[in-house]
Amino acid sequence: MKFSANLGFLWADCPLPDAIRAAKAAGFDAVECHWPYDTPPDVVRDALSDTGLRMLGLNTARGNVAAGENGMSAVPGRQEEACRAIDEALSYATAIGAGNVHVMAGVASGDAAHLCFIDALQCASNRAARHGITILIEPLNRFDAPGYFLRNLDQAAQIIAEVAVPNLKLMFDCYHVARTEGDVLRHLSNLQPIIGHIQFARVPDRGPPDGGDLDYRKVFAWIEASGWETPLGAEYKPGENTDATLGWLTWARG
C-alpha cells in the first residue's frame, strides 16, 4: 500500500516545504494539502523536486473563514469569487504539478445552490482538462461541516453524472462516509468507477487510523485487493506531534 501525507493536518505547525521534507523522512509516498496559497509555488516545487514526492492535490479557497464560509462554488451570488478561487487553485496546481483540485461547495442548500455548483464544476472541469488536472468533489459529514452543500455520496454521484465529464471525480473520505452513511466497504465497491482519491482517519475522533469504530486493516486490505494504486490520503488530526502517531504505517504497509 502507498500513502500520502495530508499536510493540512500532518506537520501543520511547519512551513509547507519543511512539512514536505518531513513526510519524505517518515516514509510517505506522496503529499497533499489544503490551502497552500501563502507559500510561493516555486518554493513548494523545489521541495517536491528535492524529495521526489508528488503533490496529489489541493483545495479551492474557503472564502471568509471567520464568517463560517467553507467554499463558495455552490453559494448563490458568489459565482465570480468562486471562479476566481478555481482559477487560483488551477494555477497553483499547474505550477507545482498537482494532479487534483478539490472544488469546495460551501454552506448552501436548494435548487439554486445545485445549479451554481453544476455551473462551477463545468467551468472548473473544462479549464482543468487543458492541464490534465482532475476536479474532485467531497461530501462532508454534518457533524464537522454543518450546512455544507454536498452532504452524501448519492448527491455527489448524481452531480458527477449530471456534469458528465471524465475529469470530474469523487473524493471518497472513509472518515466522512463512516460518520454519516456507514458501510464504507460497500460504498467503496459501488462507487469505485467514479472515485478519484481516497482519504482516511479514525472514526469518530479523526485521529490516526489505529482503533476506533472502523477497522482500517480490513479497509486497506480491500482497497489493495481491488487494484487501487494511487496513494491513500492520511487526512487525520495528529495532535501536537505528528511523528508520534505514525506507528500505523508499519502495519498498514503489510
Longest dimension (CA), the chain: 49
How big is the CA angle at 20 (ends 192 and 172), to the nearest 5 degrees?
15
The residues that bridge with 4 in the sheet, in sequence order, are: 30, 233
Percentages (nearest 5) of helix, strand, coil residues in the chain: 45, 15, 40
> Catalytic residue at 138?
yes
**CA gyration radius, the chain:** 17
User: Closest Cα partner for 88 from 64, 49, 117, 59?
Assistant: 59
Of 138, 162, 181, 224, the active-site residue reads 138
Exposed/middle/buried for residue 221 (C-beta within 10 Å: 0-12, 13-18, 19+): middle
Of 32, 224, 229, 235, the active-site residue reads 235
User: Closest Cα partner for 83 from 32, 121, 51, 46?
Assistant: 121
Q: How many residues does the chain have?
A: 254
- Between CA 254 and CA 235 the distance in angstroms is 20
Tell me which residues are annotated as active site. 138, 235
